[in-house]
Amino acid sequence: MQTRAQPGDNTRTREGIEMNVGIIGAGHIGATLARKLAACGHQIKLANSKDPQSIQTLADEVGAKAVTKEQAVADVDVIILSIPFARYPDLKQMLSQVPEQVVVIDTSNYYPQRDGAIREVDEGKPESVWVSEQIGRPLIKAWNAVLAATLADQGQPAESATRIALPVAGDDVRAEAIAQDLVEETGFTALAAGGLQDSWRQQPGTPAYCTELTLPELKQALEAADKARAPLNRDALMARFMAPGTEFTREQMVAINREMTA
């Protein structure tokens, strides 16, 4: 029998504890997280930028409830934000109504070719620090450093020696612990990767980003990250992946990421 955590509880998610999770963003990452967390017994509300009807079929398929953005952030323990990077300022007013104890998790990444140039980030401000400022509240950075196909299909049991590890960064111990537990439930080992000021180490263009590493390998990758080089790697990788007429498998993308960020 499952026990439901009350919205805003300090209870960490553990096996057998059901949490209320709102996900804003129904793309590859958001939809996959909805599916996986629903399968673990959590109550999932899923919203996109349009309306609930536009994702009703998807929500039914993954085991979530299709709702508006406002409904997604009401009466929940955790909010997962999985939207285009440049859209975060739009959420500030809505999130200002959410109780402080609700955990907010950011899965996004900044790609200037897609999002437009953001001066502060281009000048070195870590992406999730910028996001936190835009939405007006603390957050945890998780599930950003994984390909959608990896997240969907490459999770493994906790005892597996080849289990892929994912970095989780944040400044609040309780919130980070909850995010780590959720990452573990999706089939990956969660590694505490420092505070948000250090979260640049898991941004695009770093050795930890979308390279499918085990826990010892991920620790080394985070240490090896070069802040000045990362944006150059990111842009070079984007140019390679988006070149006309190219198509890559998940394995090829991982190999290229490893090669160009080593």
Handedness of CA 142, 8, 46, 25 (dihedral sign): negative
- The reported pLDDT for the residue numbered 7 is 37
Q: In sequence order, what DSSP letters do the residues of 129-161 get, joined into one string?
A: HHHHHHHTS--EE-S-SS-HHHHHH----TT-T
Dist. CA 167–CA 194, nearest whole Å: 9
Domains of the chain: 3-261 (3.40.50.720)
| 17 DSSP 8-state letter | E
- The reported pLDDT for the residue numbered 8 is 38
- The reported pLDDT for the residue numbered 17 is 79
Intervals of the chain under pLDDT 50 = 1-14
- The reported pLDDT for the residue numbered 16 is 54
